[in-house]
């Protein structure tokens, strides 16, 4: 039965009125659990290299370890949420992530350093994927907007934590500084999450039925079903490539601006905060864009990362550094919203947690590869120029691939929302 415009508006407004505690819980959790470490790590790399003598490639490989293990965990975590419930699974991951980040206190050599990165990766991306899944389940009409609003928590962390971590580094060593940023998780984020999600039922979603068979629900069964389609690989590879470009630039942004362009640390911190501020608004804006234009909006967001690497080559001072950082912040905010939207717009609600987990794994594999690829290029050539050119070309490929996908479920839902026209009244008979 088609809905009229007034009914649809009532549903959309009612969603936010009823679910705002869940939205707040996701926002605060992402601020402390994933945003704080993510925006602090680029500022510790210089301190780590100075103390240990490790190369840029070795130091930034921590991000590769983090996101490599995040790719693995995202698949299983999405399936875990489908089976044990969103609230319980996210809570477990958040606690383990805070504990893992605190273990940075005990790092003594390169392998300890990478081990902590792997532990952070096994839990942190799971929290972010979990919040996306939770909001995607709780919001229907404005899924993209809700996910965008929730993810602004990590953007706000990007505004504040560059300043916080630099202040901590001025008074503590890099190990203690990273451990101290987990205090907010224990004292603020976890209590608010427990309160905000108290009405979320920890029940199994999309459970297998006799008609579908239990094997269809397994990760391997779902993967086999999806892997034979062209659209699955177009989505997965485009997400992988755009993640590679985005994180490759992000993890080297501070090193590039400070060491290669001789931009003062205060300006670099301000540029990092500006990146997060613009990302804050970008997540909300692009969430609405995706709700309205679906994959066409996603392609436009990806296209921003064709331009940004080229803009990096033009950085000569504070003004151009800010322009480069803010365009990347716009693109970064947009692409963090796209995975749950693409999954639901193409495949609908069926096994949504598992499908989002699969595509989040592609994103995290890109996040893992990007810092290493950019670091390797710097090691071989001595600068970032070839890396920026390569990354611009990879972003172009990602745009072309996502444009080859049709959002079947989104088109079907739009067709169902179209009001059915009232039949015209029969014309009154004219007297003879």
In the block, residue with structure tokens 């707040």: 24
Instruction: Quickly list DSSP for 135-148.
Output: HHHH-STTHHHHHH
CA pair distance 84, 235, nearest whole angstrom? 27
Longest Cα–Cα distance of the chain, Å, equals 103
Q: For residue 432, what pLDDT is reported?
A: 46
pLDDT in tens, 51-84: 999 988 899 899 888 888 887 777 677 677 777 7
pLDDT in tens, 266-298: 999 999 888 888 988 998 899 889 989 999 999
CA triple 93-95-338, angle to 5 deg:
40
Q: DSSP class of residue 104?
A: G
CA 48, 49, 50, 52 dihedral sign is positive
Going by C-beta distance under 8 Å and a sequence separation of 6 or more, which residues neighbour residue 47? 169, 173, 174
CB 247 within 8 A of CB 366: yes
Backbone angles phi, psi at 418, to 5 degrees: -65, 120
Q: For residue 12, what pLDDT is reported?
A: 53
CA pair distance 66, 118, nearest whole angstrom? 5
The whole-number mean pLDDT for each consecutive block of 10 residues of the chain, a chain of 432 residues, reads: 42 74 95 92 91 90 86 74 81 93 94 93 83 85 83 88 94 95 96 93 51 49 85 96 96 92 93 88 90 94 97 95 94 90 89 82 90 93 95 98 95 77 54 48
Q: For residue 309, what pLDDT is reported?
A: 96
CA pair distance 185, 93, nearest whole angstrom? 12
CA pair distance 362, 417, nearest whole angstrom? 32
Q: Is 14 exposed, middle or buried (0-12, 13-18, 19+ CB in 10 A)?
A: exposed
Q: Is 284 exposed, middle or buried (0-12, 13-18, 19+ CB in 10 A)?
A: buried
Which domains does the chain carry? 5-200+216-417 (1.20.1250.20)
Q: For residue 268, what pLDDT is reported?
A: 93
**Other beta carbons within 10 Å of 354:** 28
Q: For residue 258, what pLDDT is reported?
A: 92
CB 32 within 8 A of CB 38: no
- Total residue length of the chain: 432
CB 140 within 8 A of CB 8: no
CB 47 within 8 A of CB 169: yes
Question: Please, what is the end-to-end C-alpha distance for the chain in angstroms?
Answer: 41
CB 354 within 8 A of CB 219: yes
């Amino acid at each position: 039965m088609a809905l009229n415009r007034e009914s649809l508006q009532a549903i959309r407004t009612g969603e936010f009125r009823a679910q705002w505690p869940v939205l707040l819980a996701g926002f605060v959790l992402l601020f402390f659990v994933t945003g704080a470490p993510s925006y602090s790590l680029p500022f510790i790399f210089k301190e780590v290299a100075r103390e240990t003598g490790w190369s840029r490639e070795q130091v930034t490989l921590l991000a590769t370890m983090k996101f490599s293990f995040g790719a693995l965990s995202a698949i299983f975590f999405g399936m875990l949420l489908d089976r044990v419930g969103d609230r319980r699974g996210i809570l477990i991951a958040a606690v383990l992530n805070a504990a893992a980040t605190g273990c940075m206190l005990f790092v003594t050599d390169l392998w300890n350093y990478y081990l902590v990165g792997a532990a952070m990766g096994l839990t942190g991306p799971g929290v972010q994927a979990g919040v996306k899944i939770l909001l995607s389940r709780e919001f229907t009409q404005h899924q993209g907007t809700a996910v965008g609003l929730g993810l602004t928590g990590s953007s706000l962390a990007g505004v504040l934590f560059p300043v916080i971590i630099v202040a901590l580094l001025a008074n503590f060593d890099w190990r203690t500084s990273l451990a101290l940023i987990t205090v907010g998780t224990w004292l603020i984020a976890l209590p608010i999450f427990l309160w905000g999600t108290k009405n979320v039922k920890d029940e199994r979603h999309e459970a297998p039925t006799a008609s579908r068979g239990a094997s269809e629900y397994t990760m391997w069964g779902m993967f086999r079903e999806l892997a034979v389609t062209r659209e699955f690989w177009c989505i997965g590879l485009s997400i992988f490539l755009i993640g590679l470009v985005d994180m490759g630039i992000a993890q080297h942004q501070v090193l590039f601006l400070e060491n290669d362009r001789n931009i003062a640390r205060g300006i670099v911190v301000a540029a990092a905060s500006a990146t997060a501020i613009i990302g804050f608004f970008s997540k909300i804006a692009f969430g609405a864009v995706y709700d309205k234009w679906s994959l066409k909006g996603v392609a436009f967001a990806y296209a921003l990362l064709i331009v940004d690497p080229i803009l990096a080559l033009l950085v000569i001072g504070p003004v151009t550094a800010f322009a480069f950082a803010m365009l990347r912040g716009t693109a970064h905010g947009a692409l963090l919203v796209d995975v749950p939207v693409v999954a639901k717009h193409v495949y609908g609600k069926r096994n949504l947690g598992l499908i989002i987990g699969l595509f989040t794994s592609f994103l995290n594999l890109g996040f893992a590869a990007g810092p290493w690829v950019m670091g390797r290029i710097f090691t071989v050539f001595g600068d970032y120029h070839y890396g920026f050119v390569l990354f611009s070309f990879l972003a172009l490929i990602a745009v072309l691939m996502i444009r080859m996908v049709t959002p079947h479920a989104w088109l079907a839902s739009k067709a169902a929302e179209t009001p059915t026209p009232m039949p015209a009244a029969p014309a009154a008979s004219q007297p003879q």
